[in-house]
Amino acid sequence: MIEVEGIRAGYGSINILWDVSVSIRPGELTTIIGPNGAGKTTLLRAIMGLVPLAQGSVRLDGQALDGTPTWKMPDLGVVMIPEGRMIFKDMTIEENLMLGAFTKKHRAGSRRQCEKAYEMFPRLRERRNQPAGTLSGGEAQMLAMGRGLMADPRVLIIDEPSLGLAPVIVNELFQTLSRLKEEGRTIILVEQSTHRAVGVADHVYLLQSGKVVLSGRAADIDMERLHELYFAH
């Protein structure tokens, strides 16, 4: 579905990704792991068009995404839930959700998608008229997830969803990921917990210093070898 081929990308004169290639298969959860500074978030931003490519290509169903404005990605069925949630704290929970269906293509179905978000995250329904800034960290992540689902994406890109959350909330989060996977959504997950990430994934990529150093089916991953590479200098 998404083919990233030999891309180089970074910020200004600083290159972060070096000839990175990944293949995202439809209906699967692909996890991208690696230490801080490995280039995981930069890779997601490159797919979304937030970081320009210096080399290589990104394709969706065979069509080039290079140069596609980020705000047009939801119309192509690709949505990113960023690290840090990035909710609008002074707006209500429901207003935040509705922003996820801001494009003309998705406005007509916004109420239906909002109800689906509430079904998936009942706590949001209870507080729908409260300012989003009153939410706990776990609830804010639920809101970010719900907002991302408002465009009913085929491809859901999620960056570090468990960061800073209590273990019980992390358990709920990964149950949600499993549910979304069962629905047939294609998911790209960047996650700090290697065991949890590999446990829910179909395919695993390990980034180290902006390069792919390990790629394989999750069921075949040797965790000891993965951690040796993860912590390599």
Please name every residue paired with 127 in a beta bridge, in sequence order, or none if there are none. none
Regarding whether 73 and 28 lie in a shared domain, the answer is yes
* pLDDT at residue 233 in the model: 53
Q: Which of the 8 DSSP states describes residue 106?
A: H
Residue whose C-alpha is closest to residue 147's, from 184, 175, 121: 121
**How far apart are alpha carbons 67 and 224 in whole angstroms?**
39
| Domain-terminating residue out of 121, 152, 183 | 152
Q: Are residues 71 and 185 in the same domain?
A: yes
| Sequence-ordered list of residues with C-beta below 8 angstroms from that of 179, at least 6 positions apart, any chain | 120
Q: Specify the pLDDT at position 232.
A: 80
Q: Which of 134, 123, 138, 30 is nearest to 88 (CA)?
A: 134
Instruction: Give yes or no: residues 160 and 210 share one domain.
Output: yes
Sign of CA dihedral 210, 53, 198, 86: positive
- Give the pTM: 0.93
Indicate if 67 and 93 belong to the same structural domain.
no
Query: What token pair was written down for 184?
Result: 């047939």
Compute the distance between CA of residue 222 and CA of residue 198 in angstroms, rounded to an integer.
10
Same-domain check for residues 97 and 62: no
Q: How high is the pLDDT of residue 119?
A: 94
178's tokens: 């499993």
Averaged over successive runs of 10 residues, the pLDDT of the chain (233 residues) comes to 96 96 97 95 96 96 91 94 91 96 86 94 94 94 95 95 90 92 95 93 97 97 93 74
Let me know whether 185 and 118 are in one domain: no
CA 153 to chain centre: 11
Range of the domain at 216: 1-77+153-165+172-233
